[in-house]
Amino acid sequence: MTTTLRPDGAEEAAANKGRTRRWHIMVNGHPVGGLRTTAWPRDGFCPGEIGELEVTEGRRRGRGTVAVLAAEEVLRSWGCTRVDVTVPAEAEAGLQLARALGYTERMRNMIKPLTELPQLPAGLTDRRIGPEQYPDWERAAVEGYRQELIDSGVGAAEATAKSEHDHRHALPAGPDTPDIVLRQLLDADGNVLGCIWVALRQAAMPDGRPLAWVMLVEAAPEHRGRGHGRTLMRIAERECLAAGVHDLGLNVFADNGVAIRLYESLGYRVTRRVLSKPLL
DSSP-assigned states of every residue in 42-73: BTTB-EEEEEEEEE-SSTTSSHHHHHHHHHHH
**The pLDDT value given to residue 41:** 85
**The pLDDT value given to residue 219:** 94
For each of the domains in the chain, give its residue range(s) and CATH number, in order of start.
3-80 (no CATH), 112-273 (3.40.630.30)
Among residues 202, 103, 94, 93, the alpha carbon closest in space to that of 153 is found at 103
What are the tens digits of pLDDT across the range 101-131?
999 999 999 999 999 999 899 999 999 999 9
Q: What is the mean pLDDT of the chain?
A: 93
Low-confidence spans in the chain with pLDDT less than 70 = 1, 43-44
What are the tens digits of pLDDT across the range 14-36?
987 899 999 999 999 899 999 99
pTM attached to this predicted model: 0.86
- Please answer whether residues 22 and 54 qualify as being in contact, where contact means their C-beta atoms are separated by less than 8 angstroms: no
**The pLDDT value given to residue 222:** 92
How many Å is the maximal CA-CA distance in the chain?
72
